[in-house]
């Protein structure tokens, strides 16, 4: 992709009304654009990152046997009345009236999935059912000052599972827990699995996936001999003593063993081996990919900009050409670009007629893992026997080294 034709370019200054580092960097570097508080467009760079995050999550969900669907975001009031959440979750739901009917914009999908299941599943032989989708969630968030970490409209991957027995539900619940840890590891985030309260969803304990970060809104506690960390709500007198560590953190995922509460209220029953009608065991499991992108920026940046992990970087390589008015240098950079793209490498190529200072600053701000520079200097060094040379530098290192084109292609195409 040539940066000269890329939309949009970087901004010189950070937006003054955003305090969060994720919003400042993502907006300046051209990953997101703000429509209003808590509402962002994913621009081409941001969408590439979120698509990579989604793909990693999708692969890990599929490995658990889950199937991908896509559910509506406009919901009738009647379905929310079945569980009482039209009233109990009023604060968070966007509700409105149109043509004398009442609707809500999706803030989650338990009721919708339960309706699907009761229509299509009736026998113990039909279980388990594991369904997920990626879609927008709408929540009336009052604290919209954490940039893309807390959107009023944001992306969620939500998985739902239905089972004939509690035992089967809990077996799958822990399988999803492992799949989440694996997904976050592949994304480049270290998570602490944390015991938490059920909130508006359930009276039972749930598990959250927390990333340690000073700017986080949550606080978690842990001891070396605890299997799970704990969040504020589940700490009590008995767990407070001793050598407990605590830190600020960001919740990137949450899983809920919901039990039979929803199926009892919504009359989602199945017939067991003995012909007896029983309520379905139900769980739900969420990750917020847009919050994940913001979290990576919060924990992986320096004073110059973002430092993306390879697995979710918008491009693998940021190629810069200096002195590009000289056609032989420009031609050489074009040649490297074409051959890398031909080898399947994702390249952002800064071919603009702007000075080196701006190209380097933009490159550091955008944060692609590898920077390649073709210039009069590398051209000189490459002439003679050596073959074409280019300067290679990792975003996370300060040292650069010279490599020839063949070597660059070899190293990069291995990692695609
Ligand atoms: P929080 O406590 O931060 O408000 P939550 O516990 O209400 O979040 P869940 O209902 O557990 O959120 O949603 C599952 C996941 O969706 C969260 O772990 C998070 O990754 C993401 N998420 C939730 N709310 C938002 C939001 N407002 N903006 C972006 N992502 C969000
Ligand atoms: Mg949660």
Q: What is the pLDDT of residues 43-64, one digit of tens each?
A: 999 999 999 999 999 999 999 9
**Is 385's pLDDT higher than 70?**
no
Residue 286 CB burial class (10 angstroms; 0-12, 13-18, ≥19): buried
**Is 134's pLDDT higher than 70?**
yes
Q: From the CB of residue 378, how many other CB atoms can be counted at a distance below 10 Å?
A: 23
218-222 and 245-259 beta bridge pairing: antiparallel
φ and ψ at residue 330, rounded to 5 degrees = -60, -45
Q: What is the pLDDT of residue 202?
A: 57
Q: What is the pLDDT of residue 414?
A: 80
User: What percent of the chain is modeled with pLDDT above 90?
Assistant: 89
Alpha carbon nearest to ligand 1 atom 3, residue = 251
Digit-coded pLDDT (tens) for 324-333: 899 999 999 9
**Is 200's pLDDT higher than 70?**
no
Pocket of ligand 1 (CB under 6 A): 139, 141, 150-151, 154, 156, 251-254, 286-288, 290-291
Alpha carbon nearest to ligand 1 atom 14, residue = 286
Q: What is the pLDDT of residue 199?
A: 59
Which residues lie below 8 Å from residue 282, measured CB to CB, with a gap of 6+?
110, 114, 160, 161, 162, 163, 169, 258, 259, 260, 261, 262, 263, 268
For residue 400, the CA-to-ligand 1 centroid distance in Å is 40
Q: What is the pLDDT of the chain when averaged over all its residues?
A: 95
| pLDDT top residue among 232 and 301 | 301
**Is 266's pLDDT higher than 60?**
yes
Residues with CB under 5 A from ligand 2 (ion): 254
Digit-coded pLDDT (tens) for 139-191: 999 876 799 999 999 999 999 999 999 999 999 999 999 999 999 999 999 99
Which ligand is in closest contact with the Cα of 251?
1
Specify the range with the lowest mean pLDDT, choosing from 179-188, 278-287, 406-415.
406-415
Q: What is the pLDDT of residue 197?
A: 86
Digit-coded pLDDT (tens) for 71-123: 999 999 999 999 999 999 999 999 999 999 999 999 999 999 999 999 999 99
**Is 415's pLDDT higher than 90?**
no
Alpha carbon nearest to ligand 1 atom 26, residue = 150
For residue 187, the CA-to-ligand 2 centroid distance in Å is 19
- What angle separates helix 405-414 from helix 327-342, to the nearest 10 degrees? 30
Q: What is the pLDDT of residue 143?
A: 72
CA separation for the pair 47, 40 (Å, rounded): 11
Q: Which residue has the tokens 């509506």?
A: 72
Q: From the CB of residue 335, how many other CB atoms can be counted at a distance below 10 Å?
A: 13
Alpha carbon nearest to ligand 1 atom 17, residue = 253
pTM of the model: 0.97
């Amino acid at each position: 992709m040539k940066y000269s034709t890329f939309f949009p370019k970087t901004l010189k200054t950070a937006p003054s009304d955003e305090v969060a580092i994720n919003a400042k960097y993502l907006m300046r570097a051209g990953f997101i654009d703000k429509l209003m508080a808590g509402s962002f467009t994913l621009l081409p760079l941001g969408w590439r990152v979120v698509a990579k995050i989604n793909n990693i999550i999708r692969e890990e969900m599929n490995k658990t046997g889950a199937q991908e669907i896509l559910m509506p975001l406009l919901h009738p009031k009647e379905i929310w009345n079945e569980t009482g959440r039209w009233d109990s979750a009023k604060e968070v739901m966007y509700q409105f009236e149109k043509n004398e009917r009442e609707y809500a914009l999706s803030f989650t999908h338990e009721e919708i999935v339960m309706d699907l299941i009761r229509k299509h599943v009736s026998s113990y032989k039909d279980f388990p059912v594991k369904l997920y989708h990626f879609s927008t969630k709408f929540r009336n968030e009052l604290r919209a000052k954490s940039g893309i970490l807390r959107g009023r409209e944001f992306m969620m991957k939500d998985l739902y599972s239905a089972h004939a027995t509690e035992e089967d539900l809990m077996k799958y619940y822990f399988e999803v827990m492992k799949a989440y840890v694996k997904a976050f590891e592949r994304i480049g985030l270290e998570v602490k699995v944390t015991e938490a309260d059920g909130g508006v969803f359930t009276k039972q304990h749930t598990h959250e996936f927390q990333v340690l970060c000073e700017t986080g809104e949550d606080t978690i506690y842990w001891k070396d001999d605890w299997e799970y960390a704990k969040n504020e709500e589940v700490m009590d007198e008995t767990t407070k003593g001793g050598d407990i560590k605590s830190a600020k953190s960001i919740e990137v995922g949450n899983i809920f063993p919901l039990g039979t509460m929803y199926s009892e209220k919504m009359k989602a029953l199945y017939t067991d081996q003995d012909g007896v009608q029983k309520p379905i065991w139900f769980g739900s499991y969420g990750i917020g990919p847009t919050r994940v992108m913001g979290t990576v920026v919060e924990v992986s940046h320096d004073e110059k900009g973002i430092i993306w992990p390879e697995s979710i970087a918008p491009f693998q390589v940021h190629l810069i050409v200096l002195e590009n008015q000289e056609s032989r240098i420009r031609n050489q950079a074009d040649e490297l670009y074409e051959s890398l793209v031909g080898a399947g490498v994702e390249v952002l190529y800064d071919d603009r007629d702007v000075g080196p200072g701006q190209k380097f600053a933009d490159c550091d701000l955008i944060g692609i893992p590898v920077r390649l520079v073709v210039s009069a200097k590398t051209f000189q060094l490459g002439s003679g026997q050596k073959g074409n040379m280019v300067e290679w530098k990792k975003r996370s290192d300060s040292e650069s080294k010279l490599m020839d084109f063949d070597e660059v292609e070899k190293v990069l195409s291995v990692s695609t």
